[in-house]
Structure 1
Amino acid sequence: MRGHNKAAVLVAAAGLLLSACGGAEPDAPAEPAGSSVPHGYVEGAEETAEAQSRLVLADAGSGAVRVLDLLTEEVTELDDVAGVRDISTDGRFAYLATGGATHVIDSGAWMVDHGDHVHYYRAAIGGAGRLDGRAVAAHTDPAVTTVPLADGTTSVLDRPALEDGEVPPGESLDGLAVPYEQKLLLAEGDQLRVAARDGSGGSPVAERCPEPEGTAVTRRGVVFGCADGALLVSEDDGEFTGEKIPYPEPVPEGERASEFTHRPGSATLAATAGERGVWSLDVSERAWTFVETGSVAAVNVVGEGAPLLALTPDGVLHAYDAVTGEHQASRPLLEGGVPDGATPSIQVDTNRAYVNDPAGKRVHEIDYNDSLRVARTFDTGITPSHVVETGR
């Protein structure tokens, strides 16, 4: 892919970032005494004062792949990827899933959150390679990236190698795995285990999670969707605990939360609830809210005190109170509604939301704090079948 030679100059952020800041792992190399390397320095990348948000777009029909820089509005064309069926991101890399493989794109934009401060970076855009299996999600920490696959397994990739511009051969684990606090949370059947990063050893989480499906990493811990609600796994001083957040009443299989969306860093999650509506999960309050929207084509939630956004099949974008379910605003957005087979999504950051318009070959930028005003519209030149936002 175009830009691959540039991607090779990107150095793994794992040791460098952690050694540069106060959150270094125990085995991270210390910065040499008297070093003039600036705090947060990453070789081959430019540190910036603000988030470098970008959209990775894929056209399921033509195979075209584009990266749209939301600050400069510049578009980078990459090599085609035929037959994209889904797309995921870990905040920097986009994972374009086809029938039996996943193509990895380095968007060249990411952030590193150290709790009391954040670093933003930008670097070259390019392709990093491919892995076997169809990705359904992606999660990362400085050491490993986990890519859950449609067959129920998870590929565990070496993060420094990935940041060096190539997809390394990874460990394949049975079950759903998420890196968290220098460990790996692994769901095997209805049992969660806190394991080493290679999936070995560890101890079980006392609370069970029947039929685990769907995950989200929040500041409060990692959420796993379960048949009877959600399981929140958190860590305190090296101790991992699981806490069940049950549904307010039994929920039929077709209305369970099986795929979560949320603003990165937020502890409020959204998920579809079959054809009747959507779920809002306030992780901080350990509370579910059912929002009666009817059938939706896409849903996301901004965060605490901010709206839940839902796109209905008629192409109208709606805003709801995520706690009470009260309808707040609506705006017609996709002319002619959502076409059959289209996969619109709502990407959310701290200021705006982005909705892809496949039929219109556009992406709409929404100011969700101003009655869903359309702030900008980007003509993409391709059918943006799939989109993710990176740099957050």
Structure 2
Amino acid sequence: MAKLSSTLRLFDAHCHLQDPRIFDKAPQLISVAVDSGVVRFAVNGTSEKDWHLVKQLSELHPCIVPSFGLHPWYVPGRTPVWLEKLKEFFEAVPSAAVGEIGLDKGSRGREINFTDQIEVFQQQLELAKSLEKPASIHCVRAFGDLLKIMKSMGPFPAGFILHSYLGSAEMVPEFSKLGAYFSFSGFLMSMEAKKAKKMLKTVPSDRILLETDAPDALPKSKSNSLYLVEGDPALTEFLKAQEQSAPTGSQQSTLLCSSADASTLPRETLNHPANIQNVLDYVASLLGISKEELAELSYRNAEHLFSFKGDAFLVLVFGIVYQQQEKSSNNAGIVGLMAFERQVDNSYNRHCGDAWNFRAEMIIRRNIAFMLPRTVQSGAARSKDELGDQQRPQFRPSVSGVLDGIESSTYI
């Protein structure tokens, strides 16, 4: 398994590290994935039973962007107060997105009342719009229904993800007009290559995302290019059967060290979040661009999408700016923020490194027009024009640095 260049940054735009099949292994999976170049993980809840686990993971691992939602498969098991519970999680975790939600008419989804699916989906879409949060959407064999609903409720300025997108090329422009981002996983390898290439070519470059959907969607890559989940029961049974059927002295049991296609592995084989690099390679090859270009492109698309208005860090930074404003006069606020920037830059490596930086940078960049005037105006400070471009600070703080020093007077 080739390790990606340390300069590459990858954002897993949709996964389920809270899944009971891998939850206990999540710290190890995250560590390996980070070493392979993954900087951020958008972890999506699926039901009332796992929202608390998503929250727990996001608190333990700052590189996780949490999302809460009711997946169509779990609509029948919802409680009468499910929506109230969902709202409570967003109140507790303002930085969370909405997901996984959606519609499903596939082999599993067709067993679930579709009217109920639509009702639950629309309620969550309305919540996402009212909270100005992006939503991660699951859609299987229901793209016509989905587009009709999205058109009736859209557009969606905060954006939404069509996760593991396998829809037609013809629908891409229609969804794009409404604010869609298109996320691709290992499932893309199940689509006929010519059709997949045509569809990918229609997706705007600023709307492309990459994901693993781990622990599902194992890429159909060469076995020796994949990261496998240690202790995977499906894999254990598979290897045991291989050993029992192999002739004495045969090396058949070393399949995973060979170049055999992963399609020979059991369907239940767990996917590792580090396998996003296989998705990267495949999508880049279909688009005819380098994996370096696609990695950076998809990363920046994800950071833009997830740097939404409700982010908790926005509140945190504004709180610091407010304290600075109250305690400073003239241009002291600007000087203080420059010192603030230097100190948080020095501390971020103690946590997830760049895993925190994108969020802080994007939120502040989007809101600098609000922040800077408030700081400058405190104490009848000089105008922005008098400061000059060279004297304005470049805001590149990290959330981990803020958390380290939030109670330290050096930040205020």
TM superposition score normalised by structure 1: 0.28
More contact order relative to length (CA 8 Å, sep ≥ 6): 2
Higher strand residue share: 1
* Larger helix share, 1 or 2: 2
TM-score normalised to structure 2 length = 0.27
